[in-house]
A and B are shown apart, each in its own frame.
Chain A
Amino acid sequence: MKKIVLLVIAAILLSLVTASSASVRYSYSADTTGRMMVSEGYRSSTHINPIVGNRYSLDLTARNSRAASCIHDFSVQDREVNTETDVLYLGDISKLHGLNIAEKSGASVIIEKNESENKTFVGCSESTIGFSARVDSLQRFATKGWIKDGSQTYEIDTRGKGNFDANLYAASSEGEGLRNGTGGCAGSCNEYVLRSTERISSHVGGRFGDFNFTALYNVTPPWT
């Protein structure tokens, strides 16, 4: 019976908590010749104008591996998220199961700012980028992610055998808040007019074979 080994080496956690933001940084490296599991999730949101949200998650389960490793860096500072992930997996072909991996990140922002005494600009944007795979082998999986103030980028370079899916969803809208009277409008507009909307989705995937996949995703709200 094969031993199940789970090693999570070098975990550094620095947390500087203030009333408005936190600074978090950690990294780890794990190697195994059996089963390995990684599960982490991050979510943050501000509650003042602008309302900014960040999301990130990584889930990994490796079974019956002849060799598997996961090297991961994660940091948050001033609401800016940076991630780097490297995963390798070589399965035992005489047994079932393999590697399941899913990495997902998201950004959102809602902003309202004065343009004149009786008019404000209103904008909102949200996006999600994700990659998931169920493979017999993963010779390369290297990703870099960045999230800040409603913008995000995700870069991936992977090669393996099995199934994979990569997804992007982004939506944004802009509008004007108007006040029929005098004085500032922010927070007290009595009429909103839609100026523009935008929605984009992308899915690409491979099934039942060898694949080599590289991609770069970028989302920047229109008013930044």
Chain B
Amino acid sequence: MNTRRVAIIGAMIAILTLISAIGSVNADVSFSYNFTGNCDIKANDNYKGEVISYEAKAKSSINEVQYSFNALGTNSTNSSLYHSLDTVKGLETNSIFNYAAKGNSTEGGVMDMTENIGLTSIYSGYASKSNEASYEEVNAYSKLAGTNMLTATAAKVGIADDPVGLQYKIYADGQTEGAWANGKVSAGVSMYIANGSDRGLWSKWSYEEESTASGSFEFYKIIAYTSKITTP
């Protein structure tokens, strides 16, 4: 059995807990599409995967990944939308939305894009003492709206990998080279980790963060969370 120590990369606080990596790799479902045009654009993609494991009745775990992607662009000119998603190992997605409104004004058109990715893991009975349990939840997201924007995102979640983790990247700029985006962007992450036993909750840790830019901007952000495996 692997013993897992949870460490939050990028944070000043490291929380230790003992959990185990088990569960099967989910189905290989994948798609990629590339859409260019001078028209209204609409896309909506969703994913939910859950791996449940019971071992010797005293041990159990639930790992869940959730993902949603929404993109909307009205009255676009020379715009394009690319999105790929692969579930071979957990979940991996990439998107590029290159949007310009007719006349570069909200009267001509507007774009709106939201993306959310979340990881939840619950373990019980895998620590040194069988009556201990842990819970970890991580959610990363971005929201964009504007009249002229090139945005690229990448998300990756592994629930059967070693280490288990979530990574999310976002970049937003103007549609043409050297130009800034016109609109508003916000991207953030929330984390919650708790450990306890049948004697009660003995540690909990939460973290929330969001960055926002509006007007004309260039925006780049990376979010990473890792549960690192160590040998007991």
Interface residues in A181-223 (C-beta closer than 8 Å to B): 193-222
Is B26 close to A, CB under 8 A? yes
Q: Given contacts A196-B52, A197-B50, A205-B41, list 7 more A-B pairs with CB under 8 A.
A: A199-B49, A202-B85, A207-B42, A209-B76, A214-B34, A222-B25, A222-B27
Chain A contacts for B29, CB-based, 8 A: 127, 170, 198, 200, 218-220
Partner of B32, one of A198, A201, A205, A216: A216
Chain A contacts for B48, CB-based, 8 A: 197-200
Q: Are A206 and B33 in contact (CB under 8 A)?
A: no
CA A223 to CA B31, docked complex, whole Å:
19
With both beta carbons as reference points, the residue of chain B lying nearest to A129 in the complex is identified as B31
Q: Are B27 and A217 in contact (CB under 8 A)?
A: no
Is B161 close to A, CB under 8 A? no
Is B51 close to A, CB under 8 A? yes
Query: For the side of the interface on A, what is the size category?
Result: 35 or more
Chain B 64-104 against A: per-residue CB contact (8 Å), 1 yes, 0 no? 00000000000010000101010100000000000000000
Interface secondary structure of A, over-half rule: strand
Is A81 close to B, CB under 8 A? no
Chain A 105-142 against B: per-residue CB contact (8 Å), 1 yes, 0 no? 00000000000000000000101000000000000000
A-B pairs, top 10 by smallest CB distance, nearest first, are A209-B39, A215-B33, A211-B37, A207-B40, A220-B28, A222-B27, A204-B43, A202-B45, A198-B49, A196-B51
Q: Are A208 and B27 in contact (CB under 8 A)?
A: no
Min CB distance A123 to B, Å, is: 9
Chain A contacts for B85, CB-based, 8 A: 200, 202
Is B23 close to A, CB under 8 A? yes
Q: Are B39 and A210 in contact (CB under 8 A)?
A: yes
Chain B 221-232 against A: per-residue CB contact (8 Å), 1 yes, 0 no? 000000000000
Is B176 close to A, CB under 8 A? no
Partner of A220, one of B27, B33, B38, B53: B27
Is A36 close to B, CB under 8 A? no
Interface secondary structure of B, over-half rule: strand
Chain B contacts for A219, CB-based, 8 A: 27-29
CA A201 to CA B46, docked complex, whole Å:
5
Min CB distance B110 to A, Å, is: 15
Query: What is A's interface to B at a CB cutoff of 8 Å?
Result: 125, 127, 166, 168, 170, 172, 174, 193-222
Is B47 close to A, CB under 8 A? yes
Chain B contacts for A127, CB-based, 8 A: 29
Chain B contacts for A215, CB-based, 8 A: 31-34
Q: Are B47 and A210 in contact (CB under 8 A)?
A: no
CA A218 to CA B53, docked complex, whole Å:
27
Q: Which of A196, A199, A217, A220 has the most CB of B within 10 A?
A: A196
Interface residues in B1-59 (C-beta closer than 8 Å to A): 23-54
Given contacts A198-B26, A212-B37, A222-B27, contact A205 B50 (CB under 8 A): no
CA A208 to CA B43, docked complex, whole Å:
15
Partner of B27, one of A198, A207, A216: A198
Chain B contacts for A208, CB-based, 8 A: 39-40
Given contacts A194-B52, A196-B23, A198-B27, contact A210 B37 (CB under 8 A): yes
Q: Are A222 and B41 in contact (CB under 8 A)?
A: no
Min CB distance B121 to A, Å, is: 14
Q: Are B28 and A218 in contact (CB under 8 A)?
A: yes
With both beta carbons as reference points, the residue of chain B lying nearest to A170 in the complex is identified as B29
Q: Are B40 and A200 in contact (CB under 8 A)?
A: no
Min CB distance B212 to A, Å, is: 28
Min CB distance A216 to B, Å, is: 6
**Can you report 11 A-B residue pairs in the complex whose CB atoms are below 8 A from each other?**
A170-B27, A198-B48, A198-B50, A200-B29, A200-B48, A204-B43, A205-B42, A207-B42, A212-B36, A218-B31, A222-B24
CA A207 to CA B33, docked complex, whole Å:
16
CA A194 to CA B38, docked complex, whole Å:
47
CA A216 to CA B32, docked complex, whole Å:
6
CA A188 to CA B123, docked complex, whole Å:
31
CA A174 to CA B24, docked complex, whole Å:
9
Q: Are B28 and A222 in contact (CB under 8 A)?
A: yes
